[in-house]
Amino acid sequence: MITVERARQLIDNNLSLIPIGENKMPWIKWKEHQEKIITKDKFTEYYHDTKTKGIGIVTGYDNLECIDIDLKVLKSLKEQQDFWSEYVSFLKDNIDNFDNKFVIYKTINKHSNIHFNSINR
């Protein structure tokens, strides 16, 4: 899990964060945080709660979008790599300034999920 200091920096950078518990599920109501960020002090309180097992970023706030690609549905590593390469090439060819708008990362499952985040600013 990221440090509370890093989480507070992300809040300063206008990301809406929520605490997540077991199974990556939020343990607070998250919907309202698509419109209003939790204060850094309140988030710090949630961060130190024993129910918190990780941090989630609320999509929908400030036009943040996420595309979740589950490569695990493809049978072989070669199929996964071929699909991924073709998909990223397609996106880069069709979205102006792709590298400045998207961040690509793997989730906790490392081998199975890759997300795109697009911040429309």
pTM given for the model: 0.70
Min mean pLDDT across 3-12, 31-40, 70-79 is at 70-79
Structural domain of 74: 63-119
Residues 53 and 76 in one domain: no
pLDDT, tens digit, for every residue of 83-96? 999 999 999 999 99
* Tokens coding 32: 């309202």
Residues 39 and 22 in one domain: yes
Residues 54 and 68 in one domain: no
Residues 76 and 115 in one domain: yes
Residues 13 and 51 in one domain: yes
In the structure, what pLDDT confidence band is assigned to residue 7 with cuts at 50, 70 and 90? very high
* Tokens coding 77: 């590593």
Check residue 102 and give its pLDDT: 83
State whether residue 116 is helix, strand or coil. Answer: strand
**Structural domains counted in the chain:** 2
Residues 82 and 47 in one domain: no
DSSP letter (8 states) at residue 48: T
pLDDT, tens digit, for every residue of 63-82? 888 888 888 899 999 999 99
Residues 83 and 54 in one domain: no
